[in-house]
Amino acid sequence: MSKTKRSLSYLFSLTGIALLCACNSDAKKEASKPDSSVAKKTDTIHTLKKLSGKIFAPPEFGFKIVGYILDSRDSTEVAEKKFAQCNVIVYACAQVLKNNIVKAMHPRALETLVRRAHRNHSKAFLGISGEPSEFKIMTKSAAERSKCIAQIMQLIRQYKADGVDLDWEFPTKKEKTDKPFTLFAKELGDSCHVNGQYYFSCAVAPGINKAKRASAIEDELLTGPWVDWFNVMIYDAYDEDDPYVQHSKIAYNSFYYWLRVRKMSKDKAVLGMPIYGRPSGIPQGGHVLTFKTILKEGGNAYSDSAIIKTKKPVSIKDTSHHYTIYYDGIKTVKRKTIGAMRFGGGIMFWELGQDVNNKYSLITAAVNTAANKKYKSKH
- The DSSP result for 200-252, as a single string, is EEEEE--SSTTHHHHTTS-HHHHHSSS-SEEEE-------SSSSS--TT--HH
Domain count of the fold of the chain: 2
CB within 8 Å of 278: residues ≥ 6 apart: 235, 236, 238, 247, 284, 287, 288, 325, 326, 327
- Inside any domain, residue 297: no
Q: Are residues 175 and 103 in the same domain?
A: yes
70 DSSP β-pair partners: 92
Total-model pTM: 0.84
- Inside any domain, residue 160: yes
- Inside any domain, residue 320: no
- Inside any domain, residue 291: no
- Inside any domain, residue 211: yes
Residue-wise pLDDT tens for the chain (379 aa)?
Answer: 443 334 433 333 333 333 333 434 444 344 444 444 444 444 433 433 444 589 999 999 999 999 999 999 988 889 999 999 999 999 999 999 999 999 999 999 999 999 999 999 999 999 999 999 999 999 999 999 999 999 999 999 999 999 999 999 999 999 999 999 999 999 999 999 999 999 999 999 999 865 678 999 999 999 999 999 999 999 998 878 888 888 998 899 999 999 999 999 999 999 999 999 999 999 999 999 999 999 999 999 999 999 999 999 988 888 889 999 999 999 999 999 999 999 999 999 999 999 999 999 999 999 999 998 754 444 4
State how far the Cα of 25 lies from the Cα of 20, in Å rounded to an integer. Answer: 9
- State the residue range of the domain holding 135: 57-274+331-372
Q: Are residues 179 and 143 in the same domain?
A: yes
User: Which residue, among 100, 3, 73, has the nearest Cα to 354 in the 3D structure?
Assistant: 73
State how far the Cα of 47 lies from the Cα of 43, in Å rounded to an integer. Answer: 6
